[in-house]
């Protein structure tokens, strides 16, 4: 559906009712939603993509920047109705954060900060280091699910931004952030999201075959070259997501 002004309505409900913490087989959706239903469900938080990095408030008609830094460690995307984790720290050498490092008496200082840009995780366990998921057809048991999401949702302190339903994005949701136009060089993402590695970020999506022929491996998106990758048992970065907008909207 399109507004009379020609502004396309994005499926902002794509983030409403995200799946559980396990892997998803969803690879994005182009479903259209009804404008009146959006306004009825979301009120002043109902937006449509207006192009050129802007969004239009469907209730007031106001044009606003697509992304809004909420000031609480999150960034709202008004074109998709998703709320994203904002990364912190200074970009440097990648650090693998597994269950051992996250529960140690003196864990790596990078891993101790769940939102640090240098933290990486595995999508599934590969304890025998053979390049494939130990559990074969039932992956999704890696640190990105068990530790990273757990910490976002309050297992080691407060939930991020006071809400406890953070997930890994699907590959379709992750793709909506890829934008290589900023400064003409990687990372391919708006700077509002904080420091970002020009490398791969995990999604919850699974499917296909990994390098060792293991099915249902993790998919991810590379913010260095905008490519999509499938990896059985490697490590990558992660960014949390949930449906919603800024809890307290900042003045624009």
Overall pTM surpassing 0.85 (yes/no): no
- For residue range 166-207, list pLDDT tens digits in order: 999 998 999 999 988 877 678 999 999 999 999 999 998 877
In angstroms, the first-to-last Cα distance of the chain is: 28
Extract the tokens encoding 231: 């990896």
DSSP state, residue 8: B
Position 74 scores a pLDDT of 97
- For residue range 109-155, list pLDDT tens digits in order: 568 899 999 999 988 887 777 767 777 655 578 889 989 999 999 98
- For residue range 14-33, list pLDDT tens digits in order: 333 333 344 444 443 333 44
More confident residue, 60 or 249: 60
More confident residue, 46 or 164: 164
Position 240 scores a pLDDT of 97
Position 135 scores a pLDDT of 73
pLDDT at residue 216 tops 60 = no
What CA–CA distance (Å, rounded) separates 188 from 177? 8
Please give the share of the chain, as a percent, with pLDDT higher than 90.
34
- For residue range 70-106, list pLDDT tens digits in order: 999 999 998 888 999 999 999 999 999 975 544 444 4
Position 151 scores a pLDDT of 93
Position 247 scores a pLDDT of 79
Q: How far is CA 105 from CA 55, 101, 112, in A?
A: 46, 9, 11
For residue 41, what are the β-bridge partners?
A: none
For residue 222, what are the β-bridge partners?
A: 200
Max mean pLDDT among 21-35, 218-232, 234-248 falls in: 234-248
**CA proximity to 206, closest of 240, 173, 232:** 232
Position 124 scores a pLDDT of 83
pLDDT band (50, 70, 90) for residue 226: confident
pLDDT at residue 252 tops 50 = no
pLDDT band (50, 70, 90) for residue 61: confident
More confident residue, 216 or 142: 142
**CA proximity to 23, closest of 177, 142, 163:** 142
């Amino acid at each position: 559906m399109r507004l009379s002004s020609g502004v396309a309505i994005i499926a902002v409900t794509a983030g409403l009712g995200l799946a559980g913490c396990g892997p998803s087989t969803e690879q994005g959706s182009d479903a259209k939603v009804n404008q009146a239903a959006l306004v009825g469900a979301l009120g002043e938080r109902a937006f449509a993509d207006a192009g050129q990095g802007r969004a239009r408030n469907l209730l007031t008609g106001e044009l606003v920047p697509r992304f809004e830094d909420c000031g609480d460690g999150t960034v709202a995307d008004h074109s998709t109705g998703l709320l994203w984790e904002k990364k912190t720290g200074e970009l440097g050498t990648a650090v693998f954060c597994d269950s051992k490092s996250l529960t140690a008496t003196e864990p790596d200082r990078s891993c101790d900060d769940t939102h640090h840009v240098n933290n990486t995780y595995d999508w599934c366990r590969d304890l025998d280091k053979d390049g494939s998921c130990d559990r074969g057809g039932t992956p999704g048991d890696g640190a990105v699910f068990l530790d990273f999401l757990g910490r976002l949702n309050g297992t080691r302190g407060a939930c991020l931004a006071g809400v406890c339903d953070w997930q890994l994005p699907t590959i379709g949701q992750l793709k909506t952030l890829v934008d290589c136009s900023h400064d003409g060089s990687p990372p391919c993402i708006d700077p509002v999201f904080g420091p970002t590695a020009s490398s791969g970020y995990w999604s919850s999506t699974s499917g296909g075959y990994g390098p060792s022929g293991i099915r249902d491996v993790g998919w991810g998106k590379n913010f260095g070259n905008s490519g999509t990758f499938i990896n059985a048992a490697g490590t990558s970065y992660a960014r949390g997501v949930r449906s919603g907008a800024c809890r307290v909207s900042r003045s624009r």
